């Protein structure tokens, strides 16, 4: 139970929810990480929470899961390869704790897929890359709509 300090929903407009952000590449940073058990209890995954840093989707959250402990070695290899891409993108090559990856800019490749449980569209992360040091590469890169960058739509 949590004390809500007399919260009155009649004085606050409700959130309408969020549609997924368009497919594309966005400058983002990992803002939180947590190890969690898999549904079947046979492994653990690192949940990454990220925040878009620029453009019209600035402040939007994205998530990824890296199954780092699991009986299926291929699953673990894929997760470790993704973690390696993240580490290289933020130039932290030997992190001792996931907090060392927080608040460092990197480019996140975002796609849209339908959720297996509800069929609703949701964002998925397809890859990570180093932030380019040129000014133009610090903005989200063109999306799937034929090349219009998200910040110009």
Domain assignments of the chain as residue spans, ordered by start: 19-141
* CATH annotation of 19-141: 2.40.50
Residue that the structure tokens 């959250």 belong to:
61
Distance CA 18, CA 143 (A): 18
63-76: pLDDT as tens digits = 999 999 999 999 99
Instruction: Reply yes or no on whether the pLDDT at 140 is more than 70.
Output: no
Quick: pLDDT tens for 3-57.
Answer: 888 898 999 888 877 899 999 999 999 999 999 999 999 999 999 999 999 999 9
Residue 112 has pLDDT above 50, yes or no: yes
Helices (H), 69-144: 73-90
Single pTM value for the model:
0.77
Q: Which long-range contacts (CB under 8 A, 24 or more apart) does 84-92 make?
A: 85/127, 85/128, 85/129, 86/30, 86/48, 86/128, 88/130, 89/128, 89/129, 89/130, 89/131, 90/30, 90/130, 91/130
Token code pair at residue 87: 């580490």
Query: Does 153 have pLDDT greater than 80?
Result: no
């Amino acid at each position: 139970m949590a004390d809500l300090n007399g919260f009155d929903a009649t004085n606050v407009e409700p959130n309408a929810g969020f549609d997924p952000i368009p497919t594309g590449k966005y400058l983002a940073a990992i803002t939180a990480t947590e190890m969690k058990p898999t549904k079947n209890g046979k492994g653990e995954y690192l949940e990454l929470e990220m925040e878009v840093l620029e453009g019209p989707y600035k402040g939007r959250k994205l998530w990824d899961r890296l199954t780092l402990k699991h009986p299926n070695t291929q699953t673990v290899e894929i997760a470790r390869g993704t973690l390696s891409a993240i580490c290289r993108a933020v130039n932290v090559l030997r992190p001792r704790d996931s907090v060392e990856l927080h608040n460092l800019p990197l480019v996140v490749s975002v796609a849209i897929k339908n959720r297996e449980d509800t069929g609703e569209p949701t964002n998925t992360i397809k890859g990570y890359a180093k932030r380019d040091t040129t000014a133009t590469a610090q903005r989200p890169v063109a999306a799937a709509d034929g090349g219009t960058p998200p910040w110009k739509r």
